[in-house]
Structure 1
């Protein structure tokens, strides 16, 4: 009997070992569950939370997408500085940039006889930064409106959206000279002035904007091990701040504020800021030399904008420069007014909803038609 009882009692040390095993197993499971929950939280943070700004950098370093698709939707170019990335897909998943490197449907380099070709130069307000589809940007809607009339038929129109996100008059000039000149447009709409205004008061001013801009750089994807590691958003959350955070959007083009350019040649004692006027006048001369007609359209701010008083004043000043150039050189001006756009059609300080772009296009359409017919535009 005593032998049977003694055999039922666990040997000395067996129970503590089992308890330790269960304890270690529970701790391991707890750690794994905790890491899984932390990974889920990190993924939410990268998708719609405070780490969302890190997602383009993570995706680029992980080799999941072309870096240019996330960084200002652009690629570097040796003489254009940068250009919309060919084949870029928008938020809807559709291809938003054609393979010629601009937004919307491509056109053949050679013009179709009987078709009036219109080139829309500008920054993000021409590109249509506030709309998800290229067909909602004002150039595409302008083409649609123009081809709806006049009643009884008439000439056809094609419109090229040469808008460049964060583009200035410097890029408009180089993009026309080195690229869009070869498309031989009949009418060139020049809608600009907002981004140039940001260059005025940054310190160490240079007319080539080297005090403000720098060549666009793209992050190089990590090796296979690093790419696998970045599949974890939790690991990415810990690692990305160590490699410089999130150089996204316009930050890839901007120099640190207050730093002088590498080549300093413009006298600091000069108070004038000649770049914008010089660039636009040079652009207009090129357009006219190509037997095309330029139409100037000032940049406008939403009336309730959040810019500083100095920034808004500079934008107004650049609009007046366009008006002066129009008067002096007898260039058509479409004095587009911000009051024409209802509050609900503004996305932010300067970008428009699809309906806002429609209103802008509707304002420009009759003026473009007059120019195509050889008539004057009085604004």
Structure 2
């Protein structure tokens, strides 16, 4: 029997240099991990603290001027304030989260109280101070021309549409017992109607509005969070936390900070605009049931700032919103203020930058023009009895 011959084919010898390099790399990586894990725990470094890498819900939300709300997605943070700087004006909230000057819950004896509902242009995202917002300037104008004390509540907030204002009035504003309610909405409702990242428009606006997100961690993630290396990777090398400084991240479904035009539709469905009409009718009914009068204002806009692919759809949407506002006002006997004509007329006459900062946002002077338009209309109709 023939013995098997050893194979003449021999494996090439392993390079001792490659093995040494691999061991050095492995040791270096291990040393780096040890330095990261221990060093960042011992030495305090900017951006690497536990509050930076693994914030609690309160820490994650703490930089925002808003807080989560079970029925409104979010409301103003009570007793919040910021001083003016080169980027933004002075802003503050009262004890119940409304923009200052926030009147007390109980009306002063003999006072006539007005509540202003709206989004960021009512809240006053761009005026220089609390006193420069149009509700605050309206209070100043009316008190200068009436002996009876006038109190004005600014019940607007960034990103709100008539969906939020209807709920806000029902649950929060009505407790202030306003005698007159001013509704100044437009662009946010238009964008709710056209928004396509959340699917087809829904009657309850769930294609747009998102409930305030909560930090919920799985058991596996909680285990990984023991590692500083994992926390650093998650914070700075993944999209975790990207966009969390934007209110859209907290309140808009499928929000993406880099999405410049989520509104383009070949044929916008009508339901979004039907929602707006229904909300106005409901607002009028609820306000009337609480014994107050109501006035709608048409919203002015620097339309040249809307320059995305969908600009023509958005412009047409703003026109449809105004048409609906006028229709509901006429049909339901609601007072109407031609505030768009006042704002855009002044912008054309004096320069758009005098009135508007961006889209519907107002300068201090723009806020004064809007306040004066409402004050003039209130005076024409004799809505404040002496």
Query: With structure 2 as the length reference, what TM-score do the two structures score?
Result: 0.69
For residue 334 of structure 1, report the CA deviation from its aligned partner: 0.3
Instruction: Could you list the structure 1 runs, at least 4 aligned residues long, displaced by more than 3 angstroms after superposition.
Output: 58-71, 218-221, 235-238, 269-273
Higher relative contact order (CA 8 A, sep 6+): 1
For residue 90 of structure 1, report the CA deviation from its aligned partner: 2.4
Distance 1:321 1:89 in 2: 36
Which residue pairs with 2:76 in the alignment? 84
Distance 2:55 2:328 in 1: 48
Aligned mate of 1:200, from 184, 193, 200: 193
For residue 91 of structure 1, report the CA deviation from its aligned partner: 4.2
Does 2:249 correspond to 1:251? yes
The answer to whether the Cα contact below 8 Å between 2:67 and 2:77 also exists between their aligned partners in 1 is yes
Deviations 1:200-231 (A, max 9, x none): 2324110111011110225699x9xx9xx89x
Which residue pairs with 2:133 in the alignment? 137
Structure 1 gap segments, 5+ residues each: 1-42, 47-57, 259-268
Report the number of matched residues: 303
Which residue pairs with 1:340 in the alignment? 346
Which residue pairs with 1:304 in the alignment? 304
Deviations 1:119-158 (A, max 9, x none): 00000010011124211111111111111125xxx21101
Q: Which stretch of structure 1 is more off in the superposition, 239-248 or 178-187?
A: 239-248
CA gap 1:293/1:220 in 2 versus in 1, 3 angstroms: same
SS in structure 1 of the partner of residue 376 of structure 2:
helix
Does 2:118 correspond to 1:108? no
Q: Which stretch of structure 1 is more off in the superposition, 156-165 or 305-314?
A: 305-314
Aligned mate of 1:366, from 365, 368, 376: 376
Does 2:177 correspond to 1:184? yes
Distance 1:312 1:129 in 2: 22
The answer to whether the Cα contact below 8 Å between 2:57 and 2:214 also exists between their aligned partners in 1 is no
For residue 362 of structure 1, report the CA deviation from its aligned partner: 1.5
Which residue pairs with 1:122 in the alignment? 118
SS in structure 2 of the partner of residue 295 of structure 1:
strand
Which residue pairs with 1:28 in the alignment? none
Which residue pairs with 2:12 in the alignment? none
Query: With structure 1 as the length reference, what TM-score do the two structures score?
Result: 0.71
The answer to whether the Cα contact below 8 Å between 1:60 and 1:219 also exists between their aligned partners in 2 is no
Structure 2 gap segments, 5+ residues each: 1-45, 257-267
For residue 176 of structure 1, report the CA deviation from its aligned partner: 0.5
For residue 320 of structure 1, report the CA deviation from its aligned partner: 1.0
Which residue pairs with 1:239 in the alignment? 236
Distance 2:57 2:254 in 1: 28
For residue 340 of structure 1, report the CA deviation from its aligned partner: 2.6
Following superposition of structure 1 onto structure 2, how do residues 162-173 of structure 1 map, counting pairs within 5 Å? 162-173=155-166
The answer to whether the Cα contact below 8 Å between 2:72 and 2:167 also exists between their aligned partners in 1 is yes
Which residue pairs with 1:282 in the alignment? 282
